[in-house]
A = this chain, B = another copy of it.
Amino acid sequence: MKKTRIGIVGATGYVGMELLRLLILHRQFEITTLVSQSFVGQRFSDIYPAFRGLIDQTLSELSIEQLANECDLVVTALPHGVSSKVVPQLLDAGLKVLDHSGDFRYRKLEVYESAYNLSHPEPELLTEAIYGLPEIYRDQLAAARLAANPGCYPTCSILGLLPLLKNNLIDTNSIIIDAYSGISGAGRKADLAFSFCEAQDNIRPYGVIGHRHTSEIEQEAGLLAGLEEAPAISFTPHLAPIKRGMLATIYAKIKPEAAQTDLTEIYDQAYASETFVRLMPQGQMPETKNVSYTNFADISWAYDKRTGLVKVMSAIDNLGKGASGQALQTINIMCGLPEDTGLLAAGGTI
């Protein structure tokens, strides 16, 4: 079988690196082109010695022409505001694209521009791009030319809420999401705040008002609930001293008329045929270690009748289902492959 040729633009960030880690085990994709502006001419394994003997390809500078010649599909792991300029050129060159930035995740231009404080050079692509969450948009992704890989917090949150929202069981204006992320979410960079000595043995909130992912969560929550207007959701991110992993604890008021609903059935039905969403057995809780280095989302829920709240606990690897694992799941779909190709692995475990 002819392999699909994959290029990665922004290969040396953590998202690119993790995608490459996964692709080593993928037999239907061929990595043809690795672009990294900062490290042109060096080998990928010079930057990440863990990959010596596995991915020793040389990093090249961004050339749309080269990518067009060498690839069938390109994954762009670029900063927002940069993706919106590069992706249209890749599409024009006939390539399929999965973009990891926030630049194509929004349906409404004004929400994007407000969240990212940027104007969008190609707003019509917001209409074309498909939000790359296969558990919702699998069918559209199969036909997509452009997929927008979701944010890590939105993936973690939306998967936790999906069965409740689709079945109209909760007050959408009561949703509170309290989430903790591993530090790799901040990307690969020298920054005192993320240095070992400053970040180890520490937990802390950040972005408590107005974090960008709020609007992304609200958009998808509103769509799932069939609302015209996105609900107002409270979202608070925190950092924990783990390299990878994300845990969202989500609170929502069960609607009075839904108080007797069998949530077990609701969750089971929603995810019965999903490979990468694992509902925890009774009495077990999601733990980030169980999903780290994987594409799984582990989810549990509990209804507290004293307060009328349902609590949902959702754990992913922020670089796995929250970034590169999900990207691979989506490009598998975009390329007509079984979506679990290369993804059925146990993670970091201990």
Contact = CB atoms under 8 A, between A and B. Distances in A.
Interface in A145-167: none
A260 interface: no
A289 B184 CA distance: 15
A241 B242 contact: yes
A205 interface: yes
B350 A197 contact: yes
Contact of A249 (B21, B192, B205): B205
A288 interface: yes
A285 B189 contact: no
Given A180-B180, A243-B197, A243-B201, A307 B232 contact: yes
B24 A242 contact: no
A46 to B, nearest CB: 8
A293 interface: yes
Given A24-B346, A209-B302, A349-B50, A14 B197 contact: yes
A103 B49 CA distance: 36
A244 B196 CA distance: 11
Range for the number of chain A residues in contact with chain B: 35 or more
A332 B277 CA distance: 33
A242 B239 CA distance: 12
Contact of A251 (B51, B195, B234, B298): B234
Interface stretch (A52-60, A67-75, A80-88): A52-60
A203 B51 contact: no
A90 B211 CA distance: 49
A203 B46 CA distance: 19
Contacts of A298: 49, 52
B198 A350 contact: yes
Interface string A259-297: 000000000000000010010110011111111111010
9 contacts: A20-B346, A24-B345, A48-B346, A50-B294, A50-B349, A176-B309, A200-B243, A208-B302, A234-B251
Given A17-B350, A49-B290, A176-B251, 5 more contacts: A18-B349, A24-B345, A173-B307, A195-B196, A251-B251
